[in-house]
Amino acid sequence: MELQKVSTEGDDDDSTNSLDDTYQEKASQFTAEVDDDDDRESHKFLANGMMDKKKRYEEEYHPGHTSFGMSVFNLSNAIMGSGILGLSFAMANTGIVLFSILLLGVAILSLYSVHLLLMTAKEGGSLIYEKLGERAFGWPGKMAAFVSITMQNIGAMSSYLFIVKYELPEVIRAFMGLEEISNAWYMNGNVLVVIVTIAIILPLSLLKNLGYLGYTSGFSLSCMVFFVCVLIYKKTQLPCPLPFFYDTPSNLSSNASGPLALHNASAPALGFSPARGAPLHGPPSPEDVEEMCTPKYFVFNSQTSYTVPILAFAFVCHPEVLPIYSELKNRSRKQMQMVSNLSIAAMLVMYFLSALFGYLTFYENVEAELLHTFTRVYTSDTLLLLVRVAVLTAVTLTVPIVLFPVSTPPANQGSDPPPPSG
């Protein structure tokens, strides 16, 4: 059977023609140029196939409603995790220069991996991870994508809830002025995690539009900006070396001057407490003071290997990239790449500032959890209490973004519109 006089002009259409125009034009060509009954039946079959394909496309494609700015907030919030509290420890065990090289390298690799992910979505014709896995490897690929995303999100969510469990009772104790955590139910970390999950995380996770989560993401980011600002401020207030590592704080008074000079009564006045669990040393020599308060640029020690996971997972946001892309208003691959570039660049600056000023405050004495290091220095401090509340708020509001890829049905995630023929 042969189709006579089939025009190929439609293949040269301008790329700005819509998908509907392409279907209508090809259908009209078949109607006008096929004469006999057999060919009409063939035309009917082909046209129905094209209409079925268009119908499937219309059912799968959902336009986005989230603005560019809200998408940046959401992706930045997905990037920023609890690992920011350990970056100062990573810098202390790698050095400023080596840390900067590693952090920048991870950021560049993350940007490139997002680029590859967007290219894969374009070639696969879908913005749903499970469908991409299915089209690449069939049913095993679909299940592999689902399991990997679910496990990654459960791990991230667990780390956030772990912070809530152990930090929230301390915050409540400080607000109530208690010396120790009591056995009351409202001081039980397990009970508090359940309350926070049901009252805050669950309602936000049930939202079907990422645009609404953009507001909570923006507030979460503002909390972390406050955290970085307090770090910078505390660096100007705390002397080096800190007196709580030594038997007699007064021995440092001869080596300090100006507002940072410490005397016997200055430590209690500033809210210092002896270092809990840290060894006390004798009066340091001037050479020791200079060595302890000099930043290191390259460091290799037994703890350096522990910094690799902290940096490797600093920019993990890939499970949220395609859902955010599917919700982006007037979406295009170029626009989503701009969202990724801006988000990763903003987090790169925030990560570097938090790591740098945390390290320059405590140097080699910084611990794996930066807030815990401050609790060893201050018996009570209102500003640090507010920082704890800000960090708790930030990690709590990050969980709904992390859960969005697994809590939203695939039908609500949309797909990328294929380009017009031509």
Tens of pLDDT, residue by residue, the chain (422 residues)? 444 444 434 444 343 344 344 444 444 444 444 444 444 444 444 444 444 444 444 434 567 788 899 999 999 999 987 788 889 999 999 999 999 999 999 999 999 999 999 999 988 888 888 899 998 898 999 999 889 888 888 888 888 888 888 888 888 888 887 777 678 888 888 899 999 999 998 888 888 777 788 899 999 999 999 999 999 999 988 887 776 555 444 433 333 333 333 333 344 444 444 444 444 455 666 666 677 788 889 988 888 888 888 888 889 888 889 989 988 888 889 999 999 999 999 999 999 999 999 999 988 888 888 888 887 787 778 898 999 999 999 989 988 888 887 765 554 455 544 444 43
Rg (CA), the chain: 29
The answer to whether residue 259 is domain-embedded is: no
The answer to whether residue 40 is domain-embedded is: no
Residue written as tokens 């920011």?
84
Q: Taking the CB of residue 146, how many other CB atoms lie within 10 A of it?
A: 16
- The CA dihedral of 194, 196, 197, 202, to the nearest 10 degrees, is 140
The answer to whether residue 334 is domain-embedded is: yes
Cβ burial, residue 391 (10 Å; 0-12/13-18/19+): buried
Residues facing 281 on adjacent strands: 246
The answer to whether residue 18 is domain-embedded is: no
The boundaries of the domain holding residue 112 are 66-240+293-412
- Quickly count helices (H) and strands (E) in the chain: 17, 0
**How many domains are there within the chain?**
1
The answer to whether residue 39 is domain-embedded is: no
Please list, in sequence order, all residues whose beta carbon lies within 8 angstroms of the beta carbon of residue 79, skipping any fewer than 6 positions away. 314, 315, 316, 317, 343, 344, 347
Nearest to 3 by CA among 43, 49, 50, 47: 43
The answer to whether residue 88 is domain-embedded is: yes
The answer to whether residue 9 is domain-embedded is: no
Whichever domain contains 351, its CATH number is 1.10.4160.10
Helices marked H in 199-265 — which ranges?
202-205, 210-237
Please list, in sequence order, all residues whose beta carbon lies within 8 angstroms of the beta carbon of residue 416, skipping any fewer than 6 positions away. 61, 121, 122, 125, 126, 127, 325, 326, 331, 333
Please list, in sequence order, all residues whose beta carbon lies within 8 angstroms of the beta carbon of residue 185, skipping any fewer than 6 positions away. 191
The answer to whether residue 7 is domain-embedded is: no
